[in-house]
């Protein structure tokens, strides 16, 4: 997975998308790669897991080998116009920037293509060995991945359309781009992740993603009789809770077998602690 140039991490809200993104980035840095992490929508989650208050639009060094940025509009729009479309002096072009902003809020795919454009541009530039994008939530991943195509359908000619071509090519190339779907072994995340996998298969905008089940519990190596013998009290209650949760998780993992299992981290307090531990786990295979 870490051999690609781009990994987009997505998942239903609350499954630990940012934690997994930060962990992957830390692991890649550990392997000696020069890594950029990008917060595509909300930057707070990724920032906290990297031990920051927030992230800037310009890439900042978090630690040696690791940079991070957040795609903020209108900075992304500005850069898109300047760098990708070759429209100079955007600041003097108030109405144009405004028009684009109105468009980005209304026309299908334009907002997404600006966000995806920033990520893919960082991949194309070649400054980084690996770009890890803390992507949009699962519900928005389709519209983001399809954005270049949507825009080229909407705009029959012109420079925006030209830009869409190389973006699609980069996304489609499995030696360049990969995706990680973070999920939980619970009902709703499982259902929605399966739906997303079906969508991805039908639209083949990217290779089949890796599915990572987060917060999975280890089996409890105790017989039911032993648990019963423990008698009333926390010892028995904790064992029963664990058993029931474990069985529930197994049931959902049968429904959607994950490629990777990440452990439930008991009693870990801060987001950077969580990211560091997950990075270690990833390293242990």
Pairwise CA distance, residues 238 & 42, whole Å: 36
Cβ 110 to another protein, closest distance in Å?
9
Q: Positive or negative CA dihedral for 257, 209, 6, 189? A: negative
Binding window for another protein (CB under 8 A); candidates: 1-9, 30-38, 104-112, 173-181: 104-112
The dihedral region occupied by 173, where left means phi > 0, alpha psi between -120 and 50, and beta the remainder, is: beta
Site string for another protein, 255-274 (x = CB under 8 A): -----------xxxx-x---
Between 15 and 180, name the residue whose CB sits nearer to another protein.
15
Structure tokens at 271: 């987001």
Site string for another protein, 182-221 (x = CB under 8 A): --x--xxx-x----------------------------xx
Total residues belonging to the chain: 285
Binding window for another protein (CB under 8 A); candidates: 63-71, 150-158, 203-211, 253-261: 150-158
Binding window for another protein (CB under 8 A); candidates: 30-38, 52-60, 98-106, 120-128: 98-106
Between 237 and 280, name the residue whose CB sits nearer to another protein.
237
- Under rule CB under 8 A, residue 160 binds another protein: yes
The set of residues, in sequence order, having a beta carbon less than 8 Å from that of 51 and lying 6+ positions away, is 62, 271, 272
Cβ 120 to another protein, closest distance in Å?
18
The continuous run of DSSP H or E covering 99 comes out as helix 94-106
The set of residues, in sequence order, having a beta carbon less than 8 Å from that of 123 and lying 6+ positions away, is 5, 6, 131, 170, 176, 177
Residues 17-36 that bind another protein (CB under 8 A): 18
Which of residues 176, 242, 253, 277 is near another protein by CB under 8 A?
242
Q: Largest alpha-carbon pair distance within the chain?
A: 78
Q: Do residues 40 and 21 touch, judged by C-beta distance below 8 A?
A: no
The dihedral region occupied by 155, where left means phi > 0, alpha psi between -120 and 50, and beta the remainder, is: beta
Between 231 and 257, name the residue whose CB sits nearer to another protein.
231
Between 98 and 172, name the residue whose CB sits nearer to another protein.
98
Between 25 and 184, name the residue whose CB sits nearer to another protein.
184
Residues that bind another protein (CB under 8 A): 12-15, 18, 44-45, 48, 81, 85, 87, 93-96, 98-103, 105-109, 111, 137, 139, 143, 154-161, 184, 187-189, 191, 220-222, 226-227, 229-230, 233-242, 244-245, 248, 266-269, 271
């Amino acid at each position: 997975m870490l051999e690609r140039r781009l990994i987009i991490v997505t998942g239903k809200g609350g499954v630990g998308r940012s934690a997994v993104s930060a962990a992957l980035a830390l692991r890649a840095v550990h392997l000696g790669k020069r890594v950029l992490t990008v917060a595509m929508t909300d930057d707070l989650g990724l920032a906290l897991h990297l031990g920051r208050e927030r992230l800037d639009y310009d890439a900042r060094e978090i630690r040696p080998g690791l940079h991070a940025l957040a795609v903020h509009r209108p900075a992304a729009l500005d850069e898109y116009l300047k760098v990708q479309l070759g429209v100079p002096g955007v600041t003097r072009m108030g109405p144009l920037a405004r028009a684009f902003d109105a468009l980005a809020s209304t026309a299908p795919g334009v907002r997404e293509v600006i966000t995806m454009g920033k990520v893919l541009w960082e991949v194309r530039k070649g400054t980084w060995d690996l770009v890890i994008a803390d992507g949009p939530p699962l519900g928005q991943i389709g519209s983001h991945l399809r954005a270049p195509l949507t825009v080229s359908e909407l705009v029959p000619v012109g420079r925006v359309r030209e830009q869409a071509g190389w973006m699609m090519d980069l996304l489609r190339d499995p030696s360049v781009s990969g995706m990680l779907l973070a999920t939980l072994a619970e009902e709703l995340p499982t259902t929605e992740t399966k739906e997303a996998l079906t969508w991805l298969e039908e639209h083949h905008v990217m290779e089949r993603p890796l599915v990572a089940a987060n917060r999975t519990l280890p089996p409890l190596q105790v017989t039911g009789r032993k648990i019963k013998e423990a008698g009333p009290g926390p010892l028995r209650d904790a064992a029963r809770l664990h058993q029931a949760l474990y069985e529930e998780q197994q049931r959902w993992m049968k429904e959607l077998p994950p490629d990777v299992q990440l452990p439930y981290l008991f009693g870990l307090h801060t987001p950077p602690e969580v990211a560091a531990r997950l990075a270690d786990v990833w390293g242990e295979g």
